[in-house]
Chain A
Amino acid sequence: MAEEDIEFKWGTKRGVGGKRKNVQFYETFTYDGDEYSLFDSVYLYDEKLAEPYVGKLVKIWENPDQTKRIKVLWFFRPHEISSYLGSMQTLENELFLASGEGEGLANVNSLEAIAGKCNVVCTSKDPRNPQPTDEELRNADFIFYRTFDVGRCEISDKIDDKIAGVEVKLLLNSYGSKKPGEASKFVLDKKEVGVKNIVTDVKVVPPKKNILGNGLTNMIDGGHINDLAKESASPMSIQKSTYGGKISICDVSTEITKHSHIDGRSFDLRTVCKLGDKETIDPRASFDKQESINWSDDVKSSDATKIEGQKEDVSRDKINLMPKVPKDSLPKDIKGNLLDSKIGLMTKDDVLNAENYLPKSFVNEKVKNNEDSSELDNRPSKKAKFDGSIKMIRDKIKDNALNISDKSSNGVVKPTINTINDFGPNSKHKLARDSYGLDRDPVKILKPNEELRRIASGRLLKPSYEASIEDGKVYSQTMEVTRRPEVDKSRWFKDLPWEERMRDAHERGTLVLLQNLDRSYTSAEVEGLIWHAFNEKCTAKMVQQTTFSSPHYGQAFAIFTKREVAELVIMKLDEGCLMLSNGRPLVGSFGTPYFPQKKSTFFGHINISRTRLHMHREMKEAVSTSHYSQPNTLEYDMAMEWCLLQERSDIEWKKLYKQQGEELRKFKSNQKSK
């Protein structure tokens, strides 16, 4: 190679080595106009190959004879290790970092073999890895998050502490590309991106700056409900919906920012997260679980408690707003969050469930306040009835909340606490009913019947279900879906196999095919959904996914009790729009299930007529048993043809679903409320 022609300059020295201390190690150098640093990823060109190799510089040095050397830790392209990948899916631009010990881990090359810089971003969720920003991801030539152990020939998504003698953190996303001397920023970045990621995962709009009240009200369910629920020792499901959870991250953090008097009310996630960290939010935990933030150890410091208190407070506030918020008068976010508050509350124990629906007028007033001045004042409780069963914690929280809202007076919306204790001394049931009556438009008050109040798990049924059914529909009311109460008397069906029941239902016209469900829904959840949306009972079954199934849609068959009901449901779904979480409108149509006939032909299995069969013993055996095909047979050739066809089909499915996914995304991005 004509390296003399190419510009080259050594940069920072590192130290000397070798037997006679005559080897000079370097940290950076400039080659062909590009500055390279240790641990940069580079292309290495081999003339024999169509694609250049990709590796990471782990050592750079100059020998006494002036030859320049680099030690390169390799990345593998998926096709290089395809036989070990099996059926694992790889991304188009995915690489695998070599690890372990053995041949192929790393090589020493002459520095001149470098063909250019390569931008490889590590997307591993490993806590040691600073998460890349969206922009970084867009600019990345390649990404990696898995390693390939060259010794054991295993693919893993765990990254060893040391690879080729190099501390692994140096191999993950580096801060080298950022300005030097910003180590601390690096740490923050890490956190920031962590949280950001969560947020984007669920496609939640970041909190809007202009509506602080909004921001505050958003924060309901996040960590705080979580906490409360923990404290109240209610082991039930505490996690919030992905949706709500995410929002609250932003907002909770925002809150923290404010109170810590750092950066004012900056919504910059970075600050937020920095603080978040201080306040013992563990952003890392949020990776592991669906629920976004863990308020670890129940926030022991007084500061934190205060914050929590405020959250509590705010959530209360919001809850009260919720049922009466006129649809168009408030920013969408609030609406979106109404449900969260609901959930939050509902997942707590019964006491919480039943409480807290304000009389209409009161709520209205508050809404107005919110709108007019963006400032809610700290008014005393109008109906300060205190239920003895509330835990002391709440008390404390209330105090704290008061404190805080006083403190945060500079332009910040003060959340009111007036409704914290707003439930009467009456029985919970009573309360639930009362509040239910109050919180809905009193067009038609459904009598909460006994059935409704029973729920599968033996808990109280939350009043809001009923509240949300007004002549069958309540627009823009968000309902939380839980299990349908088990009062279905039509359990006589239970023993019949599903196929029979479906056939029967199909004949009677009570079978409905539901489309555009989230594919992770379970049959019970679909039943619950129908129950809450239509107040109708049905027996549902999710369609089991196969390799052909779209990754975007889940489907279910639902059997209703009567034909009229099925018709009504389909009509309502068609004319109205039942929006599920993450912006999916439910689609319903009469189901016409396919019942496979028992037939014996199968394309791809060739049967030779019996008279001929005896001649070819080999073939005869092949038909009757399971076996591997030997590569030297006609059968093997044919098998390969099938494999080829299969591959082709797979690619087609992949393409189709990718295209459909993009179309969906385009549409969904137009949605106002997400």
Chain B
Amino acid sequence: MGSTAEAEYREFLEKVKRTVYIDNLSPRVTESVLITALSQFGVVKSVKFIPNYIESRDIPQCALLEMESQKQAKGVILDINRFSFMVSGMPRPVRARPAQAEMFDERPTKPGRKIHCRWLDSNDPDFEIGKKLKHLTQKHAAEASVLLKQQLEREEKLHRQQEEILKANYKKFELLNDVVKDKTATGLARYYNVKFRDG
């Protein structure tokens, strides 16, 4: 039993190594989209989205992509981060990182690892510290939650800004297009005696 558990665990570690963690994905991204997008880097063996139940708001989707080899996984991470790579949407690029064991849903228990627990007596000097630590745990979780909220707000702000910029750009583009379309441009060109060519 021990040896198979160990083998299983080793195998799992190997799997972790050849897996890429990708985040900043749009919720519209599906497994097949990811596979298509990432196939240019190598063989994608499996895609698993990491569900979010713990953060009480929408966060960008993240997924684990198992590649065929560790080398491929490394390549994916390097390339995606060096150039901004976009999947089913722009302009926000996705981000890739090496996967960690803790990101996986079903992972084997590390063979031989033992966990202990004990109930502390209320007279125990550690009891108070334990209380404080429990408090601290919740405080830290709240802190992280606030930070995440702020970041998401900032992302929203940037989104709106960029949307404005893009709209303005389109307006210009539209204007140009209209001018060309309704022959104003050709008319003007004739008037000023300059050459004008569409396209």
Contact = CB atoms under 8 A, between A and B. Distances in A.
B130 A639 contact: no
A87 B115 contact: no
Contact of A580 (B103, B112, B116): B116
B148 to A, nearest CB: 6
A479 B53 contact: no
Nearest to B144: A550
Interface in B30-63: 33, 36-37, 50-60, 62
Given A239-B111, A515-B137, A587-B137, A327 B116 contact: no
Interface stretch (A19-27, A136-144, A186-194, A594-602): A594-602
B109 A83 contact: no
B115 A481 contact: yes
B120 A579 contact: yes
A477 B124 CA distance: 12
Contacts of B143: 656, 660
Interface stretch (A8-16, A412-420, A518-526): A518-526
Given A238-B112, A595-B53, A603-B155, A86 B74 contact: yes
A476 B147 contact: no
B26 interface: yes
A66 interface: no
B198 interface: no
A519 B101 CA distance: 10
Contacts of A578: 117-120
Interface size classification for chain A:
35 or more
A156 to B, nearest CB: 12
Nearest to A235: B2
Contact of B126 (A480, A579, A598, A629): A579
B158 A645 contact: yes
Contacts of A543: 53-54
B3 interface: yes
A492 interface: no
A328 B174 CA distance: 82
B2 A237 contact: yes
A476 B130 CA distance: 13
A580 B116 CA distance: 6
Nearest to A626: B37
Interface string A458-499: 000000000010000111111111100000000000000001
B116 A481 contact: yes
Contacts of A327: 121, 124
B57 A594 contact: yes
Nearest to A588: B134
Contacts of A546: 21, 23, 50, 52, 59, 62, 103
Contacts of B78: 86
Interface size classification for chain B:
35 or more
B169 interface: yes
A598 B117 contact: no
B135 to A, nearest CB: 9
Nearest to A549: B102
A672 B91 contact: no
A668 interface: yes
Contacts of A240: 112, 114
Interface in A628-660: 628-629, 634-643, 645-646, 649, 652-653, 656, 660
Interface string B143-156: 11001100110111
Contact of B154 (A521, A607, A645): A645
A435 interface: no
A33 to B, nearest CB: 46
Contacts of B83: 628-629
B154 to A, nearest CB: 6
A615 B54 contact: no
A210 interface: no
B2 to A, nearest CB: 4
A554 B107 CA distance: 14
Given A86-B81, A515-B138, A603-B155, A545 B117 contact: no
Contacts of A205: none
A437 to B, nearest CB: 21
B163 interface: yes
Interface stretch (A47-55, A158-166, A308-316, A616-624): A616-624
B96 A626 contact: no
A604 interface: yes
Contacts of A646: 24, 95
A20 to B, nearest CB: 50
Contact of B117 (A478, A522, A626): A478
Contacts of A577: 119-120, 122, 124, 126-127, 130-131, 134
B105 A603 contact: no
A87 B100 contact: no
A605 B92 CA distance: 6
Interface string A532-543: 110000000111
Interface string B171-187: 00110010000000000
Contact of B116 (A234, A479, A642): A479
A528 B115 contact: yes
Nearest to A580: B117
Given A579-B130, A626-B87, A596 B58 contact: yes
A201 to B, nearest CB: 15
Contacts of A525: 109, 113, 115
Interface in A215-232: none
A622 B154 CA distance: 24
Contact of B86 (A339, A541, A545, A627): A627
A241 B89 contact: no
A502 B106 CA distance: 17
A623 B112 contact: no
Given A516-B133, A594-B57, A599-B58, A241 B113 contact: yes
B159 A652 contact: no
A443 interface: no
Contacts of B148: 548
Nearest to A649: B151
A87 B94 CA distance: 13
| List of 9 A-B pairs having minimum Cβ-Cβ separation, nearest first | A604-B92, A239-B112, A605-B89, A626-B37, A638-B91, A237-B112, A235-B2, A475-B121, A577-B130
Interface of B: 1-3, 5, 21, 23-24, 26-28, 33, 36-37, 50-60, 62, 74, 77-78, 81-93, 95-98, 100-127, 129-134, 136-138, 140-141, 143-144, 147-148, 151-152, 154-156, 158-159, 162-163, 165-166, 169-170, 173-174, 177
6 contacts: A83-B82, A513-B54, A542-B102, A616-B173, A626-B37, A628-B84
Interface of A: 83, 86-87, 234-244, 290-291, 327-328, 339, 343, 347, 457, 468, 473-482, 499, 502, 513, 515-516, 518-525, 528-529, 532-533, 541-550, 552-555, 557, 574, 576-581, 583-587, 592-600, 602-608, 612, 615-616, 619, 622-629, 634-643, 645-646, 649, 652-653, 656, 660, 663-664, 667-668, 670-673
Given A241-B116, A595-B53, A656-B147, 16 more contacts: A238-B112, A239-B112, A475-B118, A475-B119, A480-B114, A542-B102, A544-B105, A545-B103, A578-B119, A585-B137, A587-B138, A608-B166, A626-B37, A635-B90, A646-B24, A664-B140
